Structure 1
């Protein structure tokens, strides 16, 4: 049985937005704490979304956002940070990584490769990995827990919280040996848009909300429909895990669609951001992508810069992103169905006919490095309002 349950679902509590509060480093676990339930001046949690959020400013040593930060979510691929840390923990003074493991760890961190996670989970004890991480005071995990009884083979069912995710990044950045920090963070900075195994577009949340520099480890789970990217559409959308239905009610929701975005933002990795989100059954990837993006952009993230442009919704299945404003040549990639995109400018180009619509204008998407026909932008006019005209980008 493949052990790749990429879960991420929150407790069934109704999300409430917490005030901007300061916090110290996480202390070793002393039981399961309650989440906060105050209000924030900036954070916007979309209707129907359950979220756990923590944003930590490393420059001031304080949290700028905390929203249900102690609530447990199933981890999905965010647990791969712990798998990598566990393997690298006692590698000797130079932390030399054998070539075979480097060949697994790099795609696991950059492209969220599941086969690599399966290898480390099955080789190094499965749930025992999580227990080892909990027993390490320097990590200070409080809400993390192994998969529930009956699901020991599924690493994605590990329970995490937003504040524990921040604690993991704080350990990597501030306490881990330099070779470990450099290896992990350099790979997270090289996150690929298309995940390794299923061609899922993983540049949502942090990667879409902020300009580089950023480093991300994402997680996703559930039947979102088409969430694929790349020059060829994959045969399926968000991964559907090879797992049985939950046998009984669990403290952590194991079923609803989820999207997690975690990582660092800004020069010198100033801000650590963890946004764990759970969505209603039947939610499309485009809607989840849009909701998570809007939530992430609404947060107070010190040192972050939002990219220039205007956000628009899209329609259509696997819309091609082209090098220029025409259908010449192979597409650069394909848009997941219905995602919200950032438009930097627009240009006249080849006339596109999708009856009953005809349009000669094309939108340049800086985050994809290419164009889509305005016909697929959710706007009433052929020319997008308040978007400047542009020439072709440099070749």
Structure 2
């Protein structure tokens, strides 16, 4: 029994926690004006009808979703909102590095390793290397001119080395992906999109990258994520290296006299951009600014809820039920036992998709005891049900594995 040690007080506290969680899940979000549709995120659902973008309370969002098959936007919410790009600017750094290289050009082995790490694992040290070698803000200026970007500008005055402070919008991000998919030389497209399709679960700085697009849709997808303001090192990987240079994870204070690049450097930023569906059918660009007291797990959950509300043609929803979690550094394991391999660690308090559950090793986290384990398809492993926000050992409505 999960509540055996605390008696009546534990039961009351546990149910209070559940009520609070359910209240948070059902709180009315801010909405963009658009026709309503059915509930988002049904298992296996392919979204087709228009819907309203659901923006969690306290979150500022810029959203653009472009269907390449019809040549139309299916979602736009503040598409020209200019925010600090965090690691999304690595798309521009990569394209600039490859510009005018010629159709037969190939990256040297060390350059290729650095390039792949920057795009797949969002490695800041690699981005800082290219930023320094290729002219800093001149990279952004060149790409603005080449791609006809309307809202993009280099870092504000006083932050020349902070490439993550480059101003970017959802609309310009769609334009970047459209160039990459429709106009870029084939070798450039193959290299860049190939890396985005191989986005790693953990970033080089130890932050979990499987938020937004990867959390909300089955493959195929390709993503370039961004985060800023959550500290220098996450807990996703036990061997994560601290971020070097650049400043994707740098909070930064509000600066005076930013001129044309006047952007918010104070709130926490979490962005998910990329493509969804067969043939990269739909381009998705979602930028969020969240209050400075928002934990990474809470920001991750907010972004996931927003992305799940979007009309993304060709996007298939994964089967399962979303639950809140509690605890810090909760291990996701290869099987329902603490002796099995630890695949990763969850961001504290994040909401997770659970596909099924099964009985396994009896686990004790005083005062709780439970032998049921939940399978998380996003991570390909199990967590003990002790850390799932539910009053019972077994989870309601979740099938057996």
Question: Which TM-score tier does this pair reach, normalised by the shorter chain?
Answer: 0.7 to 0.9
Once the 2 structures are TM-superposed, how far is the Cα of residue 225 of structure 1 from its aligned partner?
A: 9.6
Does the C-alpha gap of structure 1 residues 232 and 97 become closer, same or farther in structure 2, counting only changes over 3 Å? closer
Question: Match for 1:328 among 339, 342, 354?
Answer: 339
Contact 1:232 1:333 (C-alpha < 8 Å) held by counterparts: no
Runs of 4+ in 1 over 6 A off after TM superposition: 233-236
- The SS at the match of 1:332 is strand
Counterpart-to-counterpart distance in 1, 2:103 and 2:368:
64
Measured at CA, do residues 389 and 233 of structure 1 come closer, stay the same or move farther in structure 2, by a change above 3 Å?
farther
Cα pair distance change 1:89/1:249, threshold 3 Å: closer
**Residues 150-188 of structure 1, C-alpha deviation per residue, up to 9 Å, x if partnerless?**
111110111000000000000000000000000000100
Question: Which runs of structure 2 are paired with 1:129-208 in the superposition (5 Å)?
Answer: 129-136=139-146, 139-196=147-204, 198-208=205-215
Q: Tell me how far 1:99 sits from its aligned partner.
A: 2.2
- 1:362-388 deviation line (CA, Å, top 9, x unaligned): 001111111100000011111000000
Q: In structure 2, what is the Cα distance between the partners aligned to 1:235 and 1:122?
A: 19
1:265 equivalenced with 2:273 (yes/no): no
Higher helix share: 2
Whole-Å Cα distance in 1 between the matches of residues 225 and 184 of structure 2?
21
Residue 98 and residue 321 in structure 1: after superposition, are their counterparts in 2 closer, same or farther (change >3 A)?
Answer: same
Deviations 1:268-290 (A, max 9, x none): 00000000000011101111011
Say which of 203, 216, 222 aligns to 2:223. 216
Question: Any idea what the Cα deviations from partners look like across 1:105-136, whole Å, max 9, x if unmatched?
Answer: 10000000011110111111111111111111
Where does 1:234-313 land on structure 2 (aligned, <5 Å)?
Answer: 240-241=249-250, 246-248=255-257, 251-313=262-324
Tell whether the 8 Å contact from 1:325 to 1:348 is kept in structure 2 after alignment: yes
TM-score, normalised to structure 1, is 0.85
8 Å CA contact 2:98, 2:188 repeated in 1: yes
Aligned length: 354
Match of 1:34 in 2: none
Using structure 2 for the length normalisation, give the TM-score.
0.84
Residue 70 (structure 2) pairs with residue 64 (structure 1): no
Partners of 1:224 and 1:282 within 8 A in 2 = no
Answer yes or no: is 1:91 the counterpart of 2:101: yes
Contact 1:227 1:337 in 2 (8 A): no
